[in-house]
């Protein structure tokens, strides 16, 4: 089974425009390794909100190295359990009530859970600059028995290292 | 007790006014931030590093020196200058809001001349807004908030929050000790047996 690579809004913001070196370097890496980054719907919405100048993400999708996931099925126990857990983790990180945490923050975890529950990949990587979200997904899915399958990748570190 | 409270009121007012100048003039802020980061420098070094004309460099140094936010370090020529640490807490007149003016804030303001994202953010949210964003940027790098938490708290779009957090990230890393977190490229490459080619991507 192959790996699934899930990326957050900040990963694409850090890449900049398609003419940017960082964008092209990551695209080359993805194409060379036949990686297609999967993004939750909410991430796509954030990246294409009306205020954004150009939807770079649409170009990446057209180029074939990014794909938007289907809607999450909350009736899958692992999905809902993971999303609740991640929401709680982020709330605890800043000592605030859970209802102040956006469901979108948990969507990365929900998508990772979906992939693992469907057994469509044996390992899942989450690329985000939001450490609280990345560590939250790792912790929650780790406690569900997926410790060896889930990895939070620091988006900035990953891109910087690729640029070296 | 903080530095500002144990000094005479006149000094505090004088310092506040000079700090207000720093926040209004990105080039002045840039010079102060350079001294805070790099320790000390002569006027010539400031001219070279910050690409300032000689007259401007001397004017800036004299203004900051008169205001007491920088001090000369030696009697010998050429004189080198060092920044004094600034930490002022500004409270809004209704007493409900306050923010701190720190070297980090001054550094961020100094970068508006060269960073479009910081410049745009200040235009929209003011210096006080930038001070708030810096707090979120520090907390984000330390893993206690996400860009979405910030967006929700201050009612901006998640994308706008992400953009300013990324613009402020280098400043946060220069002024604070941030523990690295998460896996690296090498970890992913090793685990999945991936190829990292070094070929330059064609234009």
Secondary structure of residue A130 in the 3-state scheme: coil
Which residues have CB under 8 Å from B60's CB, separation 6+? B27, B28, B31, B46, B52
Chain B CB within 8 Å of residue A59 CB: no
Among A13, A24, A100, beta carbon nearest to B166? A13
Which strand ranges, in their side-by-side order, compose the sheet holding A37-39? A66-68, A37-39, A3-7, A123-128, A150-154
pLDDT confidence of residue B25 = 84
Distance (Å, rounded) from C-alpha A130 to C-alpha B144? 9
Q: Which residue of B has its CA nearest to A21?
A: B201
Beta-sheet pairing, B40-42 with B80-83: antiparallel
pLDDT confidence of residue A54 = 62
Among B149, B163, B166, beta carbon nearest to A101? B149
> Do residues A129 and A8 make contact, with C-beta atoms less than 8 angstroms apart?
yes
pLDDT confidence of residue A53 = 60
Residue-wise pLDDT tens digits, A42-71: 999 999 987 556 688 999 999 999 999 998
Would you report the helix, strand and coil content of chain B in percent, each value rounded to 5? Answer: 60, 10, 30
**To the nearest whole number, what is the mean pLDDT of chain B?**
85
- What's the whole-model pTM score? 0.87
Chain A CB within 8 Å of residue B192 CB: yes
Chain A CB within 8 Å of residue B37 CB: no
**Residue A59 phi, psi dihedral angles, 5° rounding:** -70, -45
Which residues have CB under 8 Å from A100's CB, separation 6+? A91, B149, B152, B153
Contacts A–B by Cβ distance under 8 A: 131
Which residues have CB under 8 Å from B65's CB, separation 6+? B71, B72, B81
Among A3, A46, A161, beta carbon nearest to B159? A46
Distance (Å, rounded) from C-alpha B182 to C-alpha A153? 5
Secondary structure of residue A121 in the 3-state scheme: coil
Length of chain A: 164
Residue-wise pLDDT tens digits, B8-54: 666 666 667 777 777 888 888 889 889 988 888 999 999 999 999 99
Domains annotated for chain B, with CATH where assigned, are 3-83 (1.10.10.10), 88-175 (no CATH)
pLDDT confidence of residue B198 = 58
Angle at A14 between CA A11 and CA A16, to 5 degrees: 120
> Do residues A116 and A146 make contact, with C-beta atoms less than 8 angstroms apart?
yes
pLDDT confidence of residue A41 = 93
Please check the confidence at residue B203 and state whether its pLDDT lies above 60.
Answer: no
Mean pLDDT of A19-23: 94
């Amino acid at each position: 089974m192959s790996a699934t690579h899930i990326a957050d809004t900040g990963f694409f913001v850090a890449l900049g425009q398609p003419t940017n070196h960082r964008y092209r370097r990551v695209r080359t890496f993805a194409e060379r390794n036949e990686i297609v980054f999967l993004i939750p719907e909410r991430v796509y919405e954030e990246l294409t909100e009306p205020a954004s100048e150009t939807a770079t993400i649409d170009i990446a999708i057209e180029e074939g190295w990014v794909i938007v996931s289907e809607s999450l099925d909350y009736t899958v126990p692992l999905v809902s359990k993971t999303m609740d857990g991640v929401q709680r983790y982020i709330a605890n990180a800043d000592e605030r009530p859970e209802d102040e945490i956006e469901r979108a923050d948990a969507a990365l975890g929900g998508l990772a859970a979906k992939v693992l529950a469907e057994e469509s990949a044996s390992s899942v990587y989450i690329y985000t600059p939001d450490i609280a979200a990345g560590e939250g997904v790792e912790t929650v899915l780790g406690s569900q028995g997926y410790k060896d399958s889930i990895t939070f990748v620091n988006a900035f570190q990953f891109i910087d290292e690729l640029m070296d | 007790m903080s530095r500002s409270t144990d000094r005479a009121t006149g000094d505090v007012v004088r310092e506040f006014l000079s700090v207000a100048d720093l926040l209004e003039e990105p080039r002045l802020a840039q010079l102060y931030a350079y001294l805070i980061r790099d320790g000390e420098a002569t006027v010539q070094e400031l001219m070279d590093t910050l690409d300032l004309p000689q007259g401007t460099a001397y004017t800036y140094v004299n203004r900051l020196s008169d205001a007491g936010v920088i001090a000369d370090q030696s009697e010998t020529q050429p004189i080198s200058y060092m920044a004094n640490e600034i930490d002022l807490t500004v409270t809004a007149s209704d007493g409900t809001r306050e923010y701190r003016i720190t070297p980090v804030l001054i550094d961020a303001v100094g970068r508006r001349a060269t960073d479009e994202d910081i410049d745009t953010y200040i235009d929209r949210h003011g210096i006080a807004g930038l001070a708030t964003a810096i707090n979120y940027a520090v907390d984000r790098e330390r893993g206690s908030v996400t860009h979405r938490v910030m967006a929700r708290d201050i009612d901006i779009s998640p994308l706008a929050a992400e953009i300013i957090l990324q613009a402020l990230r280098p400043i946060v890393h220069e002024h604070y000790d941030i523990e690295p977190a998460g896996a690296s490229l090498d970890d992913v490459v090793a685990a999945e047996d991936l190829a990292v080619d070094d070929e330059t991507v064609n234009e």
